[in-house]
Chain A
């Protein structure tokens, strides 16, 4: 009974992580705003920054992976592989989130020493959507760290309960 609730809990956790990564992906892809100032029209898309493109790709990979792992049967031998892949996915998530956050911070506050002006004043809706995508990515990251600890626990029995 306890095993069943634990298994369902892990499945729910992975479903929510899949949802969060997918939400981050969709919100970032649909963020687009057109602004015009001084008769110059500029359009802000997520493809403008390389870090946002990497964020979209990483979250796509993580979503597909989560979706596939949700259907893995319980007694399959691939669960040992899942531990290492969970670690790699967590690394992907944290690196993409960190890169996107670094670039978005420059976009919001600018970098006075390099002469880079902030762009959030001109495209506020774009900035808000990017912020939402980053928050969803952060939620996916936290859930993935929990999932990593859970798969470690279910595969290797780290509390050494079976050892004398």
Chain B
């Protein structure tokens, strides 16, 4: 089992830039997946005193969920899609040896990487600007800030945003490497496609 895994990894990273590409893809996959998960589980419930009836305070419970804001829903969905794309690319790099130059393989990898770069940058920026409004409020539109009341919600959202932006930078580098691979094609797997059965 360990022999097979090490053979597979050796085959997939026969050149230095292939190692770099694989490492970057793993990082981008983990960054976008953790951003999606942290924002997806982002929820906080708090009770506030909203008024007084006579001498007894009236309490009301408010919940802050990520589903309340469409920008955060887009954020979760887009991060999930980009992490799925990265997982697919990692699987393709580790497995398909002979099919690498067949047809439009390299071209489709480059185009998919470019599309995913734009997708993740759109999602991260939309969530960033919405949370800026939530953190600072907006005097002109009379929108109150919510971060002073729901502190944990805002903190988790900030963590998810930071990892998503790390994913944006990583995806940009990966896309640049894929485009340069298009200009000078090289194989990322060895010519021995099938691992031999060695005890």
Contact = CB atoms under 8 A, between A and B. Distances in A.
B146 A114 contact: yes
A101 interface: yes
Nearest to B70: A105
B172 to A, nearest CB: 7
Interface string A127-164: 00000000000000000010011001001101110010
A116 B74 CA distance: 20
A96 B121 CA distance: 9
Nearest to B122: A98
B88 to A, nearest CB: 20
B106 interface: yes
B20 interface: no
Interface stretch (B7-15, B21-29, B34-42, B175-183): B175-183
Contacts of B104: 158-159
A50 interface: yes
Most buried by B among A90, A91, A101, A116: A91
Contacts of B127: 102
A72 B111 CA distance: 24
Nearest to A52: B129
B124 interface: yes
A87 interface: yes
A29 interface: no
Interface in B109-128: 110-111, 114, 117-119, 121-128
Contacts of B64: 113
B121 A102 contact: no
Residue from B62, B138, B144, B175 having most chain A Cβ neighbours under 10 A = B138
Interface in A100-115: 100-103, 105-107, 111, 113-115
A106 B69 CA distance: 9
A95 interface: yes
Q: Which of B68, B114, B117, B144 has the most chain A CB within a 10 Å cutoff?
A: B114
Interface in B142-191: 142-144, 146, 168, 172, 175-176, 179, 182-183, 185
Contact of B125 (A80, A96, A105): A96
A84 B144 contact: no
Contacts of B122: 94-95, 97-98
B140 interface: yes
Given A48-B141, A51-B132, 14 more contacts: A42-B140, A87-B175, A90-B114, A99-B128, A99-B129, A105-B70, A106-B130, A106-B143, A114-B146, A117-B143, A119-B141, A148-B114, A156-B182, A163-B185
11 contacts: A51-B129, A96-B125, A102-B71, A102-B74, A107-B141, A111-B69, A114-B144, A114-B146, A152-B179, A158-B110, A163-B185
